[in-house]
Homo-oligomer: A and B are copies of this chain.
Amino acid sequence: MFSGGPKPVQGAMKTPVIILANPQIGENIGAAARAMLNFGLTDLRLVNPREAWPNKKAEAMAVGAVSVLESARVFATMEEAIADLGLVFATTGRDRLMAKRVATPDEAVEELVAELAQDRPCGVMFGAERMGLTNDEVILADAILTVPTNPKFASLNLAQSVAVVAYEWFKGTHERPDFKLPVKYRRAALANKEDLIGFFEHIEGELDRTEFLFPVAKRPAMVQNMRNMWHRAALTYQEVQTLRGMVRALTGGKKRRKKDESE
């Protein structure tokens, strides 16, 4: 669970419609619906799906996102599916050899956010599994959305493609989560320098005694390296006490045993 909430916008932010053109495989529709809801999208439209609708295989893949499938609307043609939308992107990785603007997912999200902030309905089309969108479908869109991929293996799975666009939508409309742990699990403050230096002197004293810091000419560099290492560990007071206990145990263990017995 994240505490990073939505970015402040004027009024309640609408979300873009996801339009799947001629989807062939129920599982892919379900996987797309799951990815949509994972990233806060809920408005799904299907153009002429090959399999009967509603579809059990889609529901099995959607897991907890069945609500997205239940509210999905089915259309006979792309023209009908996008009739009420303004800005529409056509997702395709292939060269279309048409003079249409091409945006990356994050660039497209920026435009969608700007339009939706003014309550203008927008959408993103995705093509059928085998061949993607037809040229006629791409022509209906204002611009092309292309997910940058490995040119040697560019063809994305339909649901993966929806997931990447939905992920960028979520990223573009939410502050970075702050990942704060509940107070009781939150990391304690760093040990203060008196405690830390007390530990340095304790362990270095023991290491001098056992002639680990030898020869003398190398001692300053060895101490410096060790102190840098301890600093890097960003120790808390409790961790410093634990380390001192470990050193005492390793150098005879009397004190810890004595303490335990006295308890």
Provide the bound-state CA to CA distance between A261 and B60, in Å: 64
- Copies of this chain present in the complex amount to 2
Total count of chain A residues near the partner, CB < 8 A: 46
- Chain A residues 15-32 with CB under 8 Å of chain B are 31
What 1/0 flags go to A96-115 for Cβ under 8 Å of B? 01110010100000000000
What 1/0 flags go to A119-149 for Cβ under 8 Å of B? 0000000000000000000000000001111
Find A177's partner among B64, B148, B176, B187 (CB 8 Å cutoff).
B148
- Chain A residues 131-179 with CB under 8 Å of chain B are 146-151, 153-157, 159-160, 163-164, 167, 170-171, 174, 176-177, 179
Q: Which residues of B contact A39 (CB under 8 A)?
A: 149-150
Check if A154 sits within 8 Å of B99, measured CB to CB: no
Provide the bound-state CA to CA distance between A163 and B161, in Å: 9
A188, closest chain B residue (CB)? B99
Provide the bound-state CA to CA distance between A191 and B168, in Å: 36
Q: Which residues of B contact A38 (CB under 8 A)?
A: 149-150, 153-156, 160
Q: Which residues of B contact A84 (CB under 8 A)?
A: none
Interface secondary structure of A, over-half rule: loop
Check if B170 sits within 8 Å of A150, measured CB to CB: yes
Provide the bound-state CA to CA distance between A182 and B98, in Å: 10
Provide the bound-state CA to CA distance between A95 and B3, in Å: 12
- Nearest-neighbour CB distance to chain B for A11, whole angstroms, equals 20
* Most chain B beta-carbon neighbours within 10 Å: one of A95, A164, A181, A186: A164
A35: Cβ under 8 A from any B Cβ: yes
A1: Cβ under 8 A from any B Cβ: yes
A44: Cβ under 8 A from any B Cβ: no
Q: Which residues of B contact A149 (CB under 8 A)?
A: 2, 38-39, 170
30 A-B pairs within 8 Å (CB atoms) are namely: A1-B95, A2-B148, A31-B157, A31-B160, A35-B156, A37-B150, A38-B149, A38-B150, A38-B155, A38-B160, A39-B149, A39-B150, A40-B150, A63-B155, A63-B157, A95-B182, A98-B185, A102-B179, A104-B176, A104-B177, A146-B179, A147-B167, A148-B176, A149-B170, A150-B170, A157-B159, A160-B160, A163-B164, A164-B167, A167-B167
| Interface residues in chain A, defined as those with a beta carbon under 8 Å from any beta carbon in chain B | 1-2, 4, 31, 34-35, 37-40, 63-65, 95, 97-99, 102, 104, 146-151, 153-157, 159-160, 163-164, 167, 170-171, 174, 176-177, 179, 181-182, 185-187
